């Protein structure tokens, strides 16, 4: 972040041109799909998620959660990207953490609550230029929170599934959803870890498809991760 007495840089002067949207159901910021997630998926509270019982009902719930995250287009909005060096992304994350602390459930996040946080930030003794940018353009920060939550929730689902001692009982649907999530770039690291843990022929085939680069279905970074998982599996199989 630049000091207040220096010339503003392009990032500090950037106008994301995001206007405030209104939800027909009320003063809500987040799309209905995120607001209607079952507990504790709606809180991104890993300590609670990790303790969920390994019941068929909970497995079906996890499957529905990931399916919603993949299929609802409102959860993948176009978020304008700040100019180089992209330090504003970190300040958006800082604001998202403040939102999560004051409004822990997705259904709690309202514009009135966001505006209250903006006032609290403005009341700080010292506010860095990029923090001032956030309070001037809070709508952009909140728009960026939607795909961020989507990613975090997908990640938590795959991490929870990977803890199950009986992975074979849900591979018929988990492999497909994990592959789709890697392709979409949500919860990708944990999805690849789950595919590696499952280790079935279908899971390996999914990893092989995801590992293709360039111009494969996954980003270069995720293709590299899938390739590394395949190498690890091969190494374990030869020992």
Among 115, 145, 164, the domain-final residue is 164
At 6 the three-state DSSP class reads: coil
pTM for the whole thing? 0.93
Pair 57, 147 in one domain: yes
Q: What's 26's DSSP letter? A: B
Q: How far apart, in Å, do the first and last CA atoms of the chain sit?
A: 50
Strand segments (E) across 102-199: none
- Counting Cβ atoms within 10 Å, is residue 175 exposed (0-12), middle (13-18) or buried (19+)? buried
Task: List, for residues 64-104, the tens digit of each pLDDT value.
Answer: 999 999 999 999 999 999 999 999 999 999 999 999 999 99
Domain residues for 198? 167-239
Structure tokens at 229: 């998982």
Residues 196 and 150 in one domain: no
Is 122 inside any structural domain?
A: yes
Tell which of 140, 164, 188 closes a domain.
Answer: 164
Distance CA 26, CA 208 (A): 45
Within a domain: residue 10? no
Tens digits of residue pLDDT in 189-205: 999 999 999 999 999 99
Q: Are residues 85 and 114 in the same domain?
A: yes
Domain match, 174 and 160 both: no
* 139 and 73 in a common domain: yes
Inside any domain, residue 102: yes
Longest dimension (CA), the chain: 61
Do 91 and 186 fall into the same domain?
Answer: no
DSSP string for 185-204? TSSHHHHHHHHHHH--HHHH
Q: Domain tally for the chain?
A: 2
Cα 127 to chain centroid, rounded: 27
């Amino acid at each position: 972040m630049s000091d207040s007495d220096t010339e503003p840089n392009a990032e500090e002067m950037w106008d994301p041109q995001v206007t405030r949207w209104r939800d027909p159901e009320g003063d809500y910021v987040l799309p209905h799909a995120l607001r209607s997630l079952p507990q504790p998926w709606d809180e991104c509270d890993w300590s609670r998620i990790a303790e969920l019982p390994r019941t068929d009902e909970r497995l079906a719930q996890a499957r529905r959660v990931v399916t919603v995250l993949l299929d609802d287009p409102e959860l993948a909005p176009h978020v304008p990207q700040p100019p180089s060096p992209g330090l504003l992304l970190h300040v958006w994350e800082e604001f998202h953490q403040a939102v999560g602390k004051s409004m822990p459930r997705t259904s709690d996040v309202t514009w009135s609550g966001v505006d209250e946080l903006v006032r609290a930030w403005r009341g700080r003794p010292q506010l860095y230029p990029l923090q001032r940018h956030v309070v001037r353009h809070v709508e952009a920060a909140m728009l960026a929170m939607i795909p961020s939550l989507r990613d975090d929730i997908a990640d938590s689902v795959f991490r929870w599934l990977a803890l199950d001692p009986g992975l074979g009982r849900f591979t018929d649907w988990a492999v497909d959803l994990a592959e789709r999530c890697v392709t979409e770039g949500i919860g990708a690291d944990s999805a690849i870890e789950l595919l590696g843990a499952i280790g079935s022929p279908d899971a390996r085939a999914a990893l092989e498809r995801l590992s293709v680069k360039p111009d494969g279905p996954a980003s270069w970074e995720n293709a590299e991760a899938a390739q590394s998982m395949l190498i690890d599996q091969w190494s374990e199989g030869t020992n």
